[in-house]
A and B are shown apart, each in its own frame.
Chain A
Amino acid sequence: MPPLVLFALQLLTLALLLAVLYRPLGDYMATVYSSTRHLRVEKVIYRLTGVNQDAEQTWPIYFRSVLAFSAVGILAVYGLQRLQAFLPFALGLPAVSEQLSFNTAISFVTNTNWQSYSPEATMGYSVQLLGLAVQNFLSAAVGIAVAVALVRGLARAASPTLGNFWVDLVRGSLRILLPFAAVAAIVLLAGGVIQNFAGFQDVGTLAGGTQSIPGGPVASQEAIKLLGTNGGGFFNANSAHPFENPTAWVNLVEVLLMLAIPFALPRTFGRMVGDNRQGYAILAAMGTFFVLSVSLLSALELGGRGTAPVLAGGAMEGKEQRFGELGSALFGTTSTLTSTGAVNSMHDSYTALGGGTTMLNMMLGELAPGGVGSGLYGMLVIAILAVFIAGLMVGRTPEYLGKKLGAREIKLASLYILTTPTLVLVGTALSFGIPVIRESVIGTSILNPGLHGFSEVLYAFTSAANNNGSAFAGLTANTPWFNTALGVAMLLGRLLPILFVLALAGSLAAQEKVPVTAGTLPTHRPLFVGLLCGTVVIVSALTYFPVLALGPLAEGLL
């Protein structure tokens, strides 16, 4: 079969599966976050934690709850790593260093899952389960909660409150993520993903050598790593590792897991604001970028430009035979367009322009469809900016879903779009601008010489600030500079946008709703979808044009 047909069939299968999930999953999530009833187990949890489950929170309190929970999460993951030597099931591994613990704690709490380390040699089962896997659930639940708070802000009228963070957190974890992760884990198990506590098993190989086969509770973690768009691998090779991603059909299931919630959240949004068409518009914009991006990356990897790929006869360096270029490009696109950052092939070894495409995916702001929750709130912020400009063009004070967009709303949306590029560009510039750091970066961290080395650093900050977590993994990031700078980038790249989104939600919720008239800009038509896409490109992507020119473009257009 020609590659184009294979590509089309693969994409169609995925689209079909997502289409089947869209309504039931989206509606289910809307029900979860709208229901006033609590499950018995939830009531027990609220009693144990001292939460008044029926008390609503204003946006500052909602944000402070996110902050408190994130701070406690970071401390816990940090503590677990530092105390690893004393934990059971640690596989005899020692305590993790201070810097690396700091970086990893932030990384998993912020839903980034950047890994400056090789997991097999660093993290025992206890840290993986109690620290990392738990945060895979919780950081995802926090992301959805924030998105839902913003949706409530748009849906409610003259409301001082946005809901209760603790209730949203518990429901997201127990009613959405846990059941779906459990089902997914069993499917992965059936496909060959391992789930044991056996540690390393030495076997004598056919050729007479020995091999140390790793074990571990992988399926349970793999499921939530993808479902919650976290991406932190149980193994160093991440989803390229056959124990994480054993076959081509499992590969497709994993892609589906990453996309399921982010692509269904527009439905949740549409349902909650009482107009499903609004959800379809957001979905259409997300889908447009997804299809364009996956097509581009597939074409670039199949095309195999560059010295090494041409010499080898194909861009197979860093790719698994069972996935091939197409399965790798699909996973790579999905991982960088969501905030997952899992990889089933080494992005560092992609063609220059292909690697640049994965960077561009993140630079778009990870909103096509983005991380769980973060994708939706990212797209809604862009929608607000698009409505603002377009609204003026139809001669009205701009309004989105009946909410007027005034100075406060635009200020918050502006701060949101300002945050990530600033972190990425300043972080990268400091890496090369300060002589001491520059020395360490070029001397120690960068693996590939020349322009590709610049791309490795740019990729690292892009990934950290966007909470993606994938890497041009040749970069040795376990250095004081990268552990610290990327840690800060991840933390600010997570919490500042959440702050702005919740403030925006509070400001929108407090407003009355303006009725819809013929003079109202419709935000569900193809025209608006086009406008939304244009705004994403101009507001997000164009900012990075110069740095892309210095890295992947310069390398790929040699």
Chain B
Amino acid sequence: MATTRGTLRQYGVAVRALLVLTLILGVLYPLVITGIGQLALPQQANGSLVRVDGRAVGSALIGQSFADAEGTPLPQWFQPRPSAAGSGHDAAASSGSNWGPENPDLVAAIRDRQSAIEKLDGVSVSAIPPDAVTASGSGLDPHISPEYARLQVHRVAAARSLETARVSALVESMIQERDLGYLGEPTVNVLALNAALAGMDEKN
């Protein structure tokens, strides 16, 4: 009997301990962090939103689609990486494709993307960098490689009737080197690049 009572007591302690700790760790802690975030780092805490003319057009951290309603790439925009999030760049359904290296679907998809880029940008398959034909892990990768950005310069310039050199210079100025010079990969933020591109149009 003593053991039953001991066990009961233990469960009583467990329930009370969970309640008290939930209050501290599940309520107080996130509230304090939220408070600090909203007061000290509101831009980051609220999703690093990018505003054009005061209107939020997306997040600097979240890749978005530059295609029409049917999913056809719009040639006047720099294109992001392929996305497996929802029907593409669905920020409410982040996801990779999870296709394995030997999966025929993946092989076919890569072929399709390569030939699409080949057609759209008029480059040979061998010049297409891997990030251009592979879906990112999140499906929301905001970046592309500098190679992929450069590859698109001609087409974008042509579509917008801009001088290639200006677009090219813009791309070069938008290249972010590796963090600290050696962490990660060099990137180009597609939304930032396209927003700058839009600004360029207006100035014209």
Q: Which A residues are closer than 8 A to B by beta carbons?
A: 1, 5-6, 9-10, 13, 45, 48-51, 64-65, 68-69, 71-73, 76, 118, 120-121, 129-131, 133-134, 137-138, 166, 169-170, 173-174, 178, 181-182, 185-186, 189-198, 200-201, 203-207, 209, 211-215, 217, 219-221, 235-237, 240-243, 246-249, 251-252, 305-309, 311-324, 326-328, 343-346, 348-352, 355, 447-452, 455, 472-474, 555, 558
Is the CB–CB distance between A118 and B102 below 8 Å? no
A474 and B62 contact, Cβ closer than 8 Å, known pairs A65-B14, A220-B30: no
List residues of B (97-118) whose CB comes within 8 Å of A's CBs: 97-104, 106-107, 110-111, 114
Excluding A10-B182, A64-B10, A474-B100, 7 further A-B contacts by CB distance (< 8 Å) are A237-B138, A249-B180, A305-B101, A308-B102, A308-B103, A311-B107, A312-B110
What is the distance, in angstroms, from A557's C-beta to the closest C-beta of chain B? 12
List residues of B (49-75) whose CB comes within 8 Å of A's CBs: 49, 52, 55-59, 61-69, 74
Q: Which residues of A contact B77 (CB under 8 A)?
A: 206-207
Task: Indicate whether B152 reaches chain A with its CB closer than 8 angstroms.
Answer: no
User: Which one of A5, A197, A242, A555 lies within 8 Å of B141 (CB-CB)?
Assistant: A242
What is the distance, in angstroms, from A301's C-beta to the closest C-beta of chain B? 11
Interface string of B178-204 (1 = CB under 8 A from A): 111011110100010011001000000
What is the distance, in angstroms, from A486's C-beta to the closest C-beta of chain B? 17
Q: Which residue of chain B has the shortest Cβ distance to A131 in the bound complex?
A: B26
Q: Which residues of B contact A51 (CB under 8 A)?
A: 13, 17
Is the CB–CB distance between B11 and A352 below 8 Å? no
Chain A to chain B contacts (Cβ below 8 Å), 14 pairs: A182-B33, A200-B92, A237-B95, A240-B137, A243-B59, A246-B61, A249-B184, A317-B101, A318-B99, A320-B141, A324-B184, A349-B96, A448-B98, A449-B103
Q: Which residues of B contact A309 (CB under 8 A)?
A: 101, 130
Q: How far is the CA of A409 from the CA of B101 in the complex (A)?
A: 45
What is the distance, in angstroms, from A471's C-beta to the closest C-beta of chain B? 9
Q: Which residues of A contact B45 (CB under 8 A)?
A: 189, 194-196, 219
Q: Which residue of chain A has the shortest Cβ distance to B99 in the bound complex?
A: A349
Q: Which residue of chain B has the shortest Cβ distance to A344 in the bound complex?
A: B137
Is the CB–CB distance between A10 and B95 below 8 Å? no
Is the CB–CB distance between A237 and B94 below 8 Å? yes
Q: Which B residues are closer than 8 A to A by beta carbons?
A: 7, 9-18, 20-22, 24-27, 29-30, 32-34, 36-38, 40-41, 44-49, 52, 55-59, 61-69, 74, 77, 81, 85, 89-104, 106-107, 110-111, 114, 128-131, 133-145, 178-180, 182-185, 187, 191, 194-195, 198
User: Which one of A6, A64, A203, A319 lies within 8 Å of B136 (CB-CB)?
Assistant: A319
Is the CB–CB distance between A213 and B49 below 8 Å? yes
Q: How far is the CA of A45 from the CA of B23 in the complex (A)?
A: 11
What is the distance, in angstroms, from B136's C-beta to the closest C-beta of chain A? 5
Q: Which residue of chain B has the shortest Cβ distance to A215 in the bound complex?
A: B47
Is the CB–CB distance between B17 and A69 below 8 Å? yes
Which of B20, B178, B195 is the most central at the interface, judged by chain A CB atoms within 10 Å of its CB? B178
Q: How far is the CA of A65 from the CA of B11 in the complex (A)?
A: 8
Q: How far is the CA of A197 from the CA of B35 in the complex (A)?
A: 11
A346 and B130 contact, Cβ closer than 8 Å, known pairs A182-B29, A252-B183: no
Q: Which residues of B contact A314 (CB under 8 A)?
A: 129-131, 134
A235 and B94 contact, Cβ closer than 8 Å, known pairs A133-B26, A186-B33, A452-B102: yes
A322 and B187 contact, Cβ closer than 8 Å, known pairs A64-B7, A73-B18, A121-B93: yes
Is the CB–CB distance between A129 and B95 below 8 Å? no
Q: Which residues of B contact A251 (CB under 8 A)?
A: 183-184
Q: Which residues of A contact B145 (CB under 8 A)?
A: 321
What is the distance, in angstroms, from A402's C-beta to the closest C-beta of chain B? 32
Q: Which residues of A contact B46 (CB under 8 A)?
A: 194, 196, 198, 215
What is the distance, in angstroms, from A40's C-beta to the closest C-beta of chain B? 14
Q: Which residues of B contact A196 (CB under 8 A)?
A: 34, 37-38, 45-47
Is the CB–CB distance between B140 and A242 below 8 Å? yes
Q: Which residues of A contact B102 (CB under 8 A)?
A: 306-308, 352, 448, 450-452, 555, 558
Q: Which residue of chain A has the shortest Cβ distance to B92 in the bound complex?
A: A212
Is the CB–CB distance between A320 and B17 below 8 Å? no
What is the distance, in angstroms, from A245's C-beta to the closest C-beta of chain B? 9
Q: Which residues of B contact A320 (CB under 8 A)?
A: 136-138, 141, 143
Is the CB–CB distance between A203 and B49 below 8 Å? yes
Is the CB–CB distance between A240 and B134 below 8 Å? no
Q: How far is the CA of A65 from the CA of B101 in the complex (A)?
A: 46
A195 and B37 contact, Cβ closer than 8 Å, known pairs A68-B11, A237-B138: yes
Q: Which residues of A contact B137 (CB under 8 A)?
A: 237, 240, 318-320, 328, 343-346, 349
Q: Which residues of A contact B101 (CB under 8 A)?
A: 305-309, 315, 317, 349-352, 452, 555
Q: Which residues of A contact B36 (CB under 8 A)?
A: 186, 189
Q: Which residue of chain A has the shortest Cβ distance to B10 in the bound complex?
A: A68
User: Which one of B62, B104, B187 lies within 8 Å of A321 (CB-CB)?
Assistant: B187
A69 and B143 contact, Cβ closer than 8 Å, known pairs A130-B26, A138-B21, A174-B24: no
Is the CB–CB distance between A173 and B21 below 8 Å? yes
Q: How far is the CA of A452 from the CA of B22 in the complex (A)?
A: 41
Q: How far is the CA of A473 from the CA of B18 in the complex (A)?
A: 31
User: Which one of A189, A203, A248, A450 lies within 8 Å of B37 (CB-CB)?
Assistant: A189
